[in-house]
Structure 1
Amino acid sequence: MNIEQFYPLFLQANQVTIDSRKVEKNDIFFAFSGENFNAATLAGEALEKGALAVIVEQKNFEDKAKNIFYVPSTLEFLQELAIHHRRQQQIPVIGLTGSNGKTTTKEIIHAVLSEKFSVQYTLGNLNNHIGVPLTLLSIKPEHEMAVIEMGANHQKEIEFLCSIAQPNFGYITNFGKAHLEGFGGFKGVIKGKSELYGYLKNNGQTIIVNENDPVQVEKTEGYTPKITFGKKDSEYYFELFSEGNFVGLFYEGDSAVSKLTGDYNFTNLCAAASLGLHFGIGFGKIKDAIENYMPTNMRSQIVKKEGRTLVLDTYNANPSSMQASLHNFITFEGSKTIIIGDMLELGDESEKEHAAILKLAEELGFDQIITVGKNFRNVHSSPLSFENTAALTEYLKVNKIKSENILLKGSRGIALEKSVNFI
């Protein structure tokens, strides 16, 4: 079975899935197997659910009469199918990467562009070598644009994802201290994320540049085409505007205030607004999109509970985003407690970075500092330092936090959101 032979069948399908539990009528099921599990054994079950076809990588399970097809690698076939499908699309594809704010920026861009166009975009956090192909394969004839988030934790990963997504526009949110272990330090982060610039330059595509970021300016100097924002002489210029704890932007006499907290989200809003204006969307519509966007993904999400304000930012954390969150949270009016969880994948820099964040938290003067995770516990000798979220939860069951404002910020692996019901 090759891509050209299979593609007409793919075009008849509703969607592609790698989860047998989610197979529905007319879907294509890719049977991904692990070391201890042979997903090809689920081929029959998938067909019973109405699957149009099943892709397996065990020859003895192939049954062409039933549309069970063998390929040497289900992953490589998925990626090759996505590349082939992408090449058929004559629509703009916007590629996003960066250390912080990728998902939030992607969702705001989707909200803005959807004011005028039918836009497909990365669902959730499906931004890796499997998620990017799945997103591309979900593009249908009615879609007029696509926004593809690309994540990475080592060199050459963004380069590979670009070869699949083939973006026409690209934006790097920022360069921060994330995945230091895999990238080989901060310089490695810049090099790895800049692979998006490399692809765009090599293919004559458009780069979106925040001209307040010196690294972005340096890496794109002298290149065209590009869309710029950030400074008064940029193509698009916005001013920071806020109401209470919510951040927004001001543009040509009008303002738009989001339901996001943190000045660090200002550039995310600017990137989305710049793309909207570039594609002919009036600021009134952009304002509607920004003000109607409701964060629900544990990223800069504000929750009101029993008269208190909780800031949930528990999907990811690294030294750069943690520092920004603490500086933002200290500006909240009223008493403040922070619950901060370990920042993972920092390698040899871990102890130093956790100690620096703890020192910053103490200097900012929060009413209460609670830490969760072994890395913070190594540098925080306090009864309010817990080894994991389960231990924190047990504490919260009998000790109510009295502060008016509570920040929860940590890496995905710490799962601080599990403690919310006990706060």
Structure 2
Amino acid sequence: MLGLFLYFYFMNIETLHKVFLDCNAISTDTRKVAENNMFFALSGDNFNGNTFAKEALKKGAKIAVIDDKDYYLSEKTILVKNSLKTLQALANYHRHYLGVKIIALTGSNGKTTTKELINTVLSQKYNTTATIGNLNNHIGVPLTLLSMTKQTEIGIVEMGANHQKEIEFLCQIAQPDYGYITNFGKAHLEGFGGVEGVIKGKSELYDYLINHDKHIFINADDNIQKDKLNNYIKKYGFSQNDSNYQKIEFLVANPFVAFKIKDTTITSNLIGEYNFTNLCAASTIGLYFNVEMEAIKKAIESYIPTNNRSQIIKKGSNTIILDAYNANPSSMEVALKNFTKQTQSNKIAILGDMFELGNSASEEHQYITDFANSLNIDSIFLIGENFYKSKSNNLKTKQYQSFEEFKANFKPIKSSTLLIKGSRGMALERVLELL
């Protein structure tokens, strides 16, 4: 059952799990540690997590799990060979101890929004536990699994990756029963080695589910997904055209997305036609798990996006589309397309650099620069080292090497509609302070 997670402490994982059950939560950060936590001393490239064990216990942690004998303190300290691998093994053991149904999802764009929508829909009928924020890596996935309890009926686990074999590894930890891939786009090109590498890496979720005869949810209008799963039987999905799948009709996105499913019209609080498939996935998965149509409608219409994702914010006379949580060439392009469909006048796009593009960075930033210039947008501000290097002869476009330079040249904006989008490291939500 534990597969590669038998690791070194196979005989002790069950014992460690019993200790975990007597604690109220896992903590890996002494700034957030609380009374009765189990603290895992995880080390990074530039720090030794074991040095924080004493502080964690002082702040109320019940147990500190360490992997360096020099920091052993008392019977409240558990020494293991590797704290991270022990955390992953414990999560895998706990997942099977609970016997909970696990839905895993990955993709280039829309993972977190889709995860939140699925959780909102399924929680209408089930006790659910979902990934908090975007804790979707080799640490976040174990923490998500370990946050589940005996009351959890369905777990929704977001999986992120920027290299080959990462999704495969996360699947070995979570061992999902169901899976969904939002899309394949130009994200993390540097790590994946191009778009084909992205498709191969994200498809590791398909590979796991197919090899273990599990269920797959599919966007049947995505030709890549459809072709890959053409001969696989255990799939359930949605389509605007294919009658073999749940029929969903796109209605409008001006600015909020509305759609029809099973003769029911649902109007969301999400902007952008690109959110249509995210809404389709949540609705379809809800139907698969026998959530009533009215409950699905209620859930989706009550969902309000947060965390800088497709938020509409009013600031004085300005309307802001804040989509500054992250960006890659695929999501940037669809965001700009959607922006041009807005009916408001005086459209202003404030765009920040897209990260992790490797050797494709120059080409991709030039493409977005040219694409933005070709659209019906009144003013364009490009911020960051890569956008600054792109060539533009358009008088409506201004380029800044840094946010500080943009800030120094910023002039008041009134009665406008603004799109703010860039990679997380650009932190373009700072623009709100200038408005």
**Matches of 2:173 and 2:45, distance apart in 1:** 26
**Matches of 2:322 and 2:422, distance apart in 1:** 9
- Matched position secondary structure for 2:269: strand
Matches within 5 A, 1:10-409: 10-65=20-75, 67-230=76-239, 231-242=241-252, 244-333=254-343, 334-380=345-391, 384-396=398-410, 399-402=411-414, 404-409=416-421
1:412 aligned residue (419, 424, 431):
424
Q: Indicate if the aligned counterparts of 1:247 and 1:263 stay in contact, CA closer than 8 A.
A: yes
Instruction: Report sequence identity in percent.
Output: 49
Q: Indicate if the aligned counterparts of 1:318 and 1:343 stay in contact, CA closer than 8 A.
A: yes
Give the count of matched residue pairs: 420
**Alignment partner, residue 5 of structure 2:** none
TM (norm. structure 2) is 0.94
Mind listing any 5+ residue stretches in structure 2 that lack a counterpart? 1-8
Q: Indicate if the aligned counterparts of 2:317 and 2:415 stay in contact, CA closer than 8 A.
A: no
The letter for the 2-side match of 1:85 is: H
The letter for the 1-side match of 2:144 is: T
Q: Deviations over 1:144-188 (max 9, x none)?
A: 111000000010010001101111110000000111111111111
Query: Cα distance, 1:42 vs. partner?
Result: 2.5
The letter for the 1-side match of 2:204 is: E
**Matches of 1:365 and 1:235, distance apart in 2:** 36
**Matches of 1:48 and 1:417, distance apart in 2:** 36
Q: Which moved more, 1:248-257 or 1:332-341?
A: 248-257
Query: Cα distance, 1:280 vs. partner?
Result: 0.7
The letter for the 1-side match of 2:152 is: H
Mind listing any 5+ residue stretches in structure 1 that lack a counterpart? none
Query: Cα distance, 1:36 vs. partner?
Result: 4.2
Query: Cα distance, 1:252 vs. partner?
Result: 2.5
Query: Cα distance, 1:35 vs. partner?
Result: 4.4
- Matched position secondary structure for 2:109: coil
The letter for the 2-side match of 1:280 is: N
Q: Deviations over 1:333-359 (max 9, x none)?
A: 122000011111111111111111111
- Matched position secondary structure for 1:51: coil
Q: Indicate if the aligned counterparts of 2:98 and 2:149 stay in contact, CA closer than 8 A.
A: no
The letter for the 2-side match of 1:105 is: T
The letter for the 2-side match of 1:195 is: E
Q: Deviations over 1:63-117 (max 9, x none)?
A: 452x201112111111111111112232211000000000000000000001111
Q: Tell me the C-alpha RMSD between the 2 structures.
A: 1.4
**Matches of 2:283 and 2:79, distance apart in 1:** 46
